[in-house]
Amino acid sequence: MKSRFFKHLFAIFLFVVTGSSYGQGSLCEEVEPFCAGDQELVFPNSNFASGSLAQGQSGPYYGCLLSQPYPAWFYLQIENSGNLEFKISQFQNRDGSGASLDVDFAVWGPFNEDEDYCNDAALSNLNLVDCSFSESAVEAMTINNAQADDIYIVLITNFSESPGYISLQQTNSSQPGAGATDCSILESTLGDDRIGCGEEEIILDGETEGATDYEWFVYNEDLATYDLLPGETSPTLSVFSSGNYRVVVTNSDGDDTAEDNVDVNFYDEPVASLPADFLICAGEGEPVDLTQASAEILSGNSDRENYRVLYYESEEAADEDIPVNSPSAYIWEEGEQIFAQVLGVESGCRSSLVSFGLDQTVFPEVNLSEITQVCLRPDGGLQNDIRLGNDLGSTYSYQWRSAGAIISNEPVLIFSEVPSAENYRLILTDNETGCSRNFETQIQYYSAPAEVLITVEGSDFTGGATVTAEAVQGLGSATEYEYQLDDGSWQSGAVFRNVNPGAHVISAREVNGCGMTSSEKFNIIGYMRFFTPNSDGYNDTWNVIDEAGVTTRVIYIFDRYGKLLKQISPAGAGWDGTTNGKDLPADDYWFKIIFVDELTGNKGEFSGNFSLIR
């Protein structure tokens, strides 16, 4: 029983071994209390190996903190008004030895106890009290003119990102005008049972107001008595093993004692083994059984029946302890990450989080299009063998089907003759996962045009010649053709306008590459646009081009001023660029012809110009 003087018997759990934490929150909403007093507070930092948040949350105004790696949030409450000065340091080892690690901080306030001091409006520029972003491992934090009951929010960041320890200590507590933090916000009683996970150290704090002597005991189950722990006379006791512990305190006069007991139970920390990414056969939006990964996740624990696996959709869901309700029928999304944690059923101890991906089994590229285009020869045979699919190796199984029947189990389906069916399906199976995927193709046949027909309208003498081609459908499915005049560029249209006079041919080809067919040669009536009388054998004379149906009777040639230079016969060799035996200069010259349309018997005249080039 506690006596009347036993006013403040409480136990404070400071987790002070490597790998544990001092209740620090990665988010401001998880902010934890601390008080400084005369003693130095030391706790493991948050780092790349242990931290759950690599950068500070968005929203707060961080002042001088250009980055906020591995944040730890705390709040303190003022007990005595005044100025408070703190030293914040970070080193590799608990005792301040080892490598110096860059530490930074920011502090906001003051806030009232009922105020929401973690929202963005509270953590603003107006409420920023102090901050430092220096490269030092030791920082000085100052809060001036703090008033009793005021609350301040402190953010400590680990710029080095390396594992180590942070020390926090008030440096002016013994000086005049110094304020003090309120440690009552940390108080609890020894009456609550304690659970330790793994190798953590539990510190029982039985410090009691008015007490001067302390004794600690542990229950001996064999003798059913409490055994005194020799040498343990301080207000605190470090506990590393399970048992029922008792503290007995005595006042300064020695005439009043009190005692309190607490059960401490240590459990092995669960281990969550990292599972392989989950390859899924089901389509996106269909249910999958996440519990298939449980055996692999639990494989590092010796006594599996005492553990179970919790699955989470995100790290935030894990932090808020919101597991997936139906992990055996989870509706998944492509590329999703699932987080898992092992829970000790009896202890409540939890492992660290592991994650694995949810991805549909990825099949390699298969050489099988929805439409397979095949070229036929004019006699109806195949231009080349048909090859469907490609060999993806022995890790896959192949099944070719047509009209409901299996026709082959080879990776590639080959036809040397036109196949009897047009539709084929490949069922490709991943031998490792058992997942299958269907690929289907329809064979469509094409060939070059059967022939190319030509229609000519007009001539140079009637406003220009227009030639229209018609590609007659060849074997196979209806298709498209491209057209070419002589050796010109290919075009989709079949009409060619302002075709020059002379002999021509038009070709048509099948757009899928199944062959080309050319028309017979045809002539366009007209005249040469230039000639070069240099005796090289090309365009040495100028003349008019005739065709059956139109006969040119006479040709007159003029200079640019209208002077008649020559009258020639269209049946002759043409004009050589001379008059009266003299070479005329390079220039533009004009001509007039008299012609007869043989179909109608009508006479006609046509004038134009051409160039003499020397």
Q: Is the pLDDT of residue 226 over 50?
A: yes
Three-state SS at 452: strand
Over residues 148-186, the pLDDT tens digits come to: 999 999 999 999 999 888 888 899 988 999 998 876 544
Q: Is the pLDDT of residue 411 over 70?
A: yes
Closest listed residue to residue 506, CA positions, set 550, 452, 462, 458 = 452
Angle ∠(399,404,407) on CA atoms, nearest 5: 40
pLDDT band of residue 14 (cuts 50, 70, 90) is very low
pLDDT band of residue 364 (cuts 50, 70, 90) is confident
Over residues 426-473, the pLDDT tens digits come to: 999 999 888 888 999 999 999 999 999 999 887 777 777 899 999 999
Are the beta carbons of 77 and 33 closer than 8 angstroms? yes
pLDDT band of residue 532 (cuts 50, 70, 90) is very high
Q: Is the pLDDT of residue 138 over 70?
A: yes
Tokens, residue 275 = 């599972």
Report the pLDDT averaged over residues 56-85: 92
Over residues 326-354, the pLDDT tens digits come to: 999 998 887 889 999 999 888 888 999 99
Position 49 scores a pLDDT of 75
Query: Is the previous residue joined to 287 through a cis bond, with omega within 30 degrees of 0?
Result: no
Highest mean pLDDT among 10-14, 281-285, 299-303: 299-303
Q: Is the pLDDT of residue 608 over 90?
A: no
pLDDT band of residue 545 (cuts 50, 70, 90) is confident
Mean pLDDT of all residues belonging to the chain: 86
Over residues 369-398, the pLDDT tens digits come to: 999 999 999 999 999 999 999 999 999 999
For residues 222 and 228, give the distance between their C-alpha atoms in angstroms, rounded to a whole number.
Answer: 15
Q: Is the pLDDT of residue 11 over 70?
A: no
User: Which of 518-534 are b and which e, b meaning 16 or more Cβ less than 10 Å from the residue's Cβ?
Assistant: ebeebbbbbbbeebbbe
* Other Cβ atoms closer than 10 A to 23: 17
Are the beta carbons of 225 and 217 closer than 8 angstroms? no
pLDDT band of residue 1 (cuts 50, 70, 90) is very low
Please indicate whether residue 251 or residue 504 has the higher confidence score (pLDDT). Answer: 504
Segment holding 341, helix H or strand E: strand 336-344
> Which amino acid, 273?
S
* Other Cβ atoms closer than 10 A to 112: 10
Alpha helix locations (H) across 154-228? none
Q: Is the pLDDT of residue 492 over 50?
A: yes
Q: Is the pLDDT of residue 549 over 70?
A: no
Position 104 scores a pLDDT of 96
For residues 386 and 267, give the distance between their C-alpha atoms in angstroms, rounded to a whole number.
Answer: 68
Closest listed residue to residue 441, CA positions, set 372, 512, 365 = 372
> Which amino acid, 275?
P
Provide the strand spans (E) within 287-404. Answer: 287-288, 307-312, 330-331, 336-344, 354-360, 371-375, 386-388, 396-402
Over residues 552-595, the pLDDT tens digits come to: 889 999 999 999 999 998 888 899 999 998 999 999 999 998 88
Please indicate whether residue 609 or residue 21 has the higher confidence score (pLDDT). Answer: 609
Q: Is the pLDDT of residue 283 over 60?
A: yes
Tokens, residue 118 = 């973690």
Q: Is the pLDDT of residue 543 over 80?
A: yes
Report the pLDDT averaged over residues 204-228: 87
Please indicate whether residue 210 or residue 612 has the higher confidence score (pLDDT). Answer: 612
Position 3 scores a pLDDT of 28
Q: Which long-range contacts (CB under 8 A, 24 or more apart) does 344-348 make?
A: 344/197, 344/267, 344/268, 344/270, 344/306, 344/307, 345/306, 345/307, 345/308, 346/267, 346/306, 347/195, 347/197, 347/265, 347/267, 348/195
Over residues 73-109, the pLDDT tens digits come to: 888 899 899 999 999 999 998 888 889 999 999 999 9
For residues 447 and 185, give the distance between their C-alpha atoms in angstroms, rounded to a whole number.
Answer: 89
pTM, 2 dp: 0.43
Q: Is the pLDDT of residue 5 over 80?
A: no
Report the pLDDT averaged over residues 212-232: 91
Q: Which long-range contacts (CB under 8 A, 24 or more apart) does 534-538 make?
A: 534/614
For residues 93 and 17, give the distance between their C-alpha atoms in angstroms, rounded to a whole number.
Answer: 11
Provide the strand spans (E) within 361-435. Answer: 371-375, 386-388, 396-402, 405-408, 413-415, 423-430
Segment holding 315, helix H or strand E: helix 315-319
Three-state SS at 499: coil
